[in-house]
Structure formats: structure tokens, C-alpha cells
Structure 1
């Protein structure tokens, strides 16, 4: 009797937080809150560019005419940016090319602005910086979603009294976690813990060799020190049997893109299942999304009932996310 109940619980863990497909749908309030959070983060990301523009204008205001800018070597990089040259493009230009771009900026735009040339310089600097910001923002939903998932997972581990360590994105070192780690989710690229004497290591944005594609989140039956990057084939992620669960996460909140995001995620999950099936392996797959509309909610729930998908949760619903984190920790 107990064995049957355990089997049932394992097969339908998603029913702990999903009563029907309607449970997955993102509400208007959740969408609104998501857009506000995204707007605040966009402004935070834009702040360094605005401060750079202020510094550039302050230095430029010490001269009388635009042509004198050529002599201020410390702002040459900023002048190139104002000329419309991106950081990436700078690598491919010679010094003569760079000087020519700055001269054209001065002749065509700053000199015609006359006494307002400092403001004109600031505007054009921000225009190019805006392109860089646009690239960052395009991935912002996914980044914020990953951070929320991370913070909730750490909170769930802490509440259960389970110690953990995390992989720092810059130092590439595993660091013992503590409650003093403010904003740890910003630079965390992996988590590891022990449950019932079993080591579990979670890696974000990992190119899975057997799949030959990047996967948002992979749970491995391995100790943290067994994970090695730089294409080291002795690393635990090169052994398909180590994979316990793999996830696709879509953090974008815009309802207009929800269906397309699910199609992309569903294709990726099917590709994952097919790759592991070729090795007679059946790791669990799960999906987390911020923008979930009715049609995709029905499809996701049908896949859960049919056991094509192991678990799912709406990123904007804390209770669902906590339940999924508990499930993940106990795998």
C-alpha cells in the first residue's frame, strides 16, 4: 500500500501545485507586476550609460569648440561611441579609421550644433549606448527568471536546513553558501547540495554533449568538483547517465510572445528526450514560464498528464515555484 502511494506521488508531483490547466495561466495582475519589474530593471541597467554620458559632457564642457575634442585622448573611446562605432566594431578599426570617424562626427554634427555641441555629443553617445542596452534588455526576461528561480531554490534549501555551495561566475570556484550572500543569484552559475547522502549538482546554461545544444538548467547526480568546464571530457556532464532532470525556462512576461516561447521550449524538450532515449535513458524534463496563456497551459497540462513532461510551474506564482523547487531538491 505504501509503495503504491509513493509511486503515485512520484508520478504526479506536479499535482501538488497544479489542480488543472487553469492553474498555469498567468493572470493580468501577474503580467502587470512582471512588466513593472522589467521596467525597473531596464532603468537600473541604463544607469551606468547615463552616468557615462554625464561624465563625457562634463569633460567636453571645458573646451570652447568641438575640434578641440580631438586633443582629449582620455575620451577618445567615448567619442568613437558618439560617432556610432560600437565596442565590437572598435576592434576591427585602425587608428586612422577611428580618427576619421571622430572627425566626421565633429564636422557633420557637433560643429553645426554650435554652442549646443556638448548636448549634441551627449545625445549621440547615448544613442549608440542604447543599442548596447537593447541587446542586454532582449535577454533580460530570461535573466530575471533565472534569478528568481535561483533565489527560490536557495530559500527552499535554507528552510529545509540543507547546506549548499554555489559556482561563482567570475572566480569559477565553488563557494559555501551562507545567509550573508546578498544578491548571490546575480553571479551564480551552479548550485550543489546533499540530500539523503546523495550529491546533487545543478548547472545553468550548459551545453549538453549528448544533445549538442544549450539547456537552461541541468540537475546532475554528481559532486560539484566533478563538474569541469573547458570541454574537459572527464567532467560529469559528459556522461549521460548522470543527468537527473533538464529544464527549459522562459522568463519573458509579454503575453504576445508566450506561444512562440512555449513552441521553442517544447521543441528543445523533445530534442532532449530524443537524445537521451537513444541511450535508453529517461531523465525528467520540466518547464517554467512567466507568460503562460490558455492554449499553451492546456497543452502543458496534457503533457504532464501523459507523462511526456515531468513537472511545470508558472514563474510568477511563488507557491508553484516553491513546490517545484521541493520536487527538484528531492529528486
Structure 2
């Protein structure tokens, strides 16, 4: 049986190096630029369509930019669901009266700037969870690669459609919209689900591996205690200054999981994968591995560790 000994010899192996931290910050910056691209394109489209107006009041006559005007007025997509037409008109009129008309001939520039300001808030909100998303993509790609080189076919669960799709010859970038993986091996059915609210522990768990097919799992409503093979926490934040907080959160979650399952007479594997692991954390994680509290752990920045823990998961 594969174990943490395949990629860890001491707590030192778990520590995130300064080079890895710097590379992580660059990766986050690139991802932020990637996510910002649609907003930049939207702003250009707004500028082009709005250029038909000779004065701010004429913007109301251009139906194609209504959503853009509302965004420039400071209204998020979520807030729009709670507003009626009169509220929206009032917001646009306020934008025109208080900001666009005082801008004079540069009212279109002012419109675009305010549009981007609101979109920037939206981007900032999405970036708060980007570390976790990047971590999930990286580990997912490693798991898919492990299955592929082993000649094991898989199905994957689409995050938005909630439909299972069969493996194809070109699986590039499916990790961008994947929430689960299912495969069959000589050990039986295996289904891996991300970000699941586990009824048994009444907590959200980053990764859960089951010995059921997707249909069986859905019918079980995740309540069959013995179906849980492994549960893990995946933390992708890279900032060394706040590294201990994700680990404390993960440690508490894993303790709750072990306690809940223990009272029901079952002990599934538990594991931790993190991007920012400082020395004190590494020593604590290593201690839990050594005494059997944790089954496995890995530093997300170490390719060999990511590959090894993926192999371990696929062989459970």
C-alpha cells in the first residue's frame, strides 16, 4: 500500500520554500489577469456602444447597454435580482446626474471607469477563493493523469450542469469545471467528490472518496458511513504570513470528521494537502502522520508529492 513514506522522509519535506511561495504569487497574478479579461472586453464593448450618445441623457435610449449602465451605477449582478424596473431607472438616472453630466465631454470615459470599478469589486470577490480553485485544478490534473497512465477510464462530474461525462481522448482543461471523478478499479467503484457537505459530521469537506458509483452515491444521500474511504482538506493559499490559519481550519475540520465517524464505528482515511506550509505546521502535520492521526499529507508545490498522494488516492 502506498503511503506518505513514498514522498516524505521528515517534516522538512513539507515546508514551502521561498521560491515556491514567489512562484505561487506569480501564478495568482496570472490567474487574476485571466479572470479580468472578460471584464476588459465588456468595458470596450460598452465604450463602443455608448459612443453613439452625444450627451449622457441619450444613454438611456440605447437598450443594448442597459446592463452596463446598471453596473456603472454600482449595482452587482446579485443585487439586480432584488430590484424592480423603477429602482433600476433611478440608479441609472443617479449615475447620469451625479457623475456623467459633471464629466462633460468625457462622460463616456467616466462611464467606462465606473463600470470597471464595480467589475473590479466582483473580481476581488472571486479572487478570495482563487487559491482553493487553483489547488483543486492542480490535484485534479494529477489524479486524472494517474488514472490515464494506469489505463483506467473515468467519468467526470460537470460543476454547473451536474452531469457526468465520459473520458475522452482530449481532456484538456476539464479541471476548470470539474466537481467529481468516478472510476472502476480492481478494488471496486470509486467516486471522488469535491466540496461536499458531509451529513455525518455536518461539515463541508474539500475532498471525499467513496466506494460507490455516482448513482449509488446519489441514492445514499451521502449517509452510508461505510461508503467513505477517505476525506481530505485542500488549502491553496500561498501567503506565508497567514499559513497557519488554513491549517488550523483544516485540522479542526478533520478532528470533527474523525470524531463523528468514530462514534459510528468507522475510521476513514484523512489527509491534508496545502500550498503554504511553514515549519511549525510541518512539524505538527508530521507528528499526526507519525502517530496515525493523519493518513497522508503533501505540499502542493512539490510535484513529486502531488503525484504520490494522487497515486495513493487512486489505489485506496
Under TM normalisation by the shorter chain, which class is it? over 0.9
Alignment partner, residue 270 of structure 1 = 255
Residues matched between the structures, number: 316
**Is the contact between residue 158 and residue 179 of structure 2 (CA under 8 Å) also seen in structure 1?**
yes
**Is the contact between residue 49 and residue 64 of structure 2 (CA under 8 Å) also seen in structure 1?**
no
Alignment partner, residue 195 of structure 1 = 185
Superposed CA deviations along residues 102-148 of structure 1, whole A, max 9, x for unmatched, are 11111111111111111100000011111111111000000000000
Cα distance in 2 for partners of 1:169, 1:227 equals: 16
Alignment partner, residue 141 of structure 2 = 151
Aligned pairs for 1:1-331 within 5 A: 13-228=3-218, 234-235=219-220, 237-331=222-316
Report the Cα offset of residue 236 of structure 1.
5.7
Cα distance in 1 for partners of 2:91, 2:158 equals: 40
Cα distance in 1 for partners of 2:53, 2:185 equals: 65
Cα distance in 2 for partners of 1:179, 1:203 equals: 22
**Is the contact between residue 220 and residue 237 of structure 1 (CA under 8 Å) also seen in structure 2?**
no
**Is the contact between residue 247 and residue 269 of structure 1 (CA under 8 Å) also seen in structure 2?**
yes
Superposed CA deviations along residues 21-42 of structure 1, whole A, max 9, x for unmatched, are 0000011111111111111110
**Is the contact between residue 196 and residue 206 of structure 2 (CA under 8 Å) also seen in structure 1?**
yes
Cα distance in 2 for partners of 1:92, 1:224 equals: 36
In structure 1, the gaps of 5 or more residues are 1-8, 229-233
Report the Cα offset of residue 188 of structure 1.
1.3
In structure 2, the gaps of 5 or more residues are none
Structure 1 stretch 174-183 or stretch 200-209: which is displaced more? 174-183
CA RMSD of aligned residues (A): 1.2
Cα distance in 1 for partners of 2:73, 2:135 equals: 35
Cα distance in 2 for partners of 1:109, 1:236 equals: 53
**Is the contact between residue 56 and residue 96 of structure 2 (CA under 8 Å) also seen in structure 1?**
yes
Cα distance in 2 for partners of 1:304, 1:263 equals: 16
**Is the contact between residue 157 and residue 163 of structure 2 (CA under 8 Å) also seen in structure 1?**
yes
Report the Cα offset of residue 92 of structure 1.
1.6
SS of aligned partner of 1:112: helix
SS of aligned partner of 2:201: coil
Cα distance in 2 for partners of 1:300, 1:91 equals: 45
**Is the contact between residue 216 and residue 247 of structure 1 (CA under 8 Å) also seen in structure 2?**
yes
Report the Cα offset of residue 238 of structure 1.
1.7
Cα distance in 2 for partners of 1:91, 1:178 equals: 38
Superposed CA deviations along residues 24-72 of structure 1, whole A, max 9, x for unmatched, are 0011111111111111110000011111111111111111101111111
SS of aligned partner of 1:199: strand
Q: Once superposed, which parts of structure 1, at least 4 consecutive aligned residues long, lie more than 4 Å away? A: none
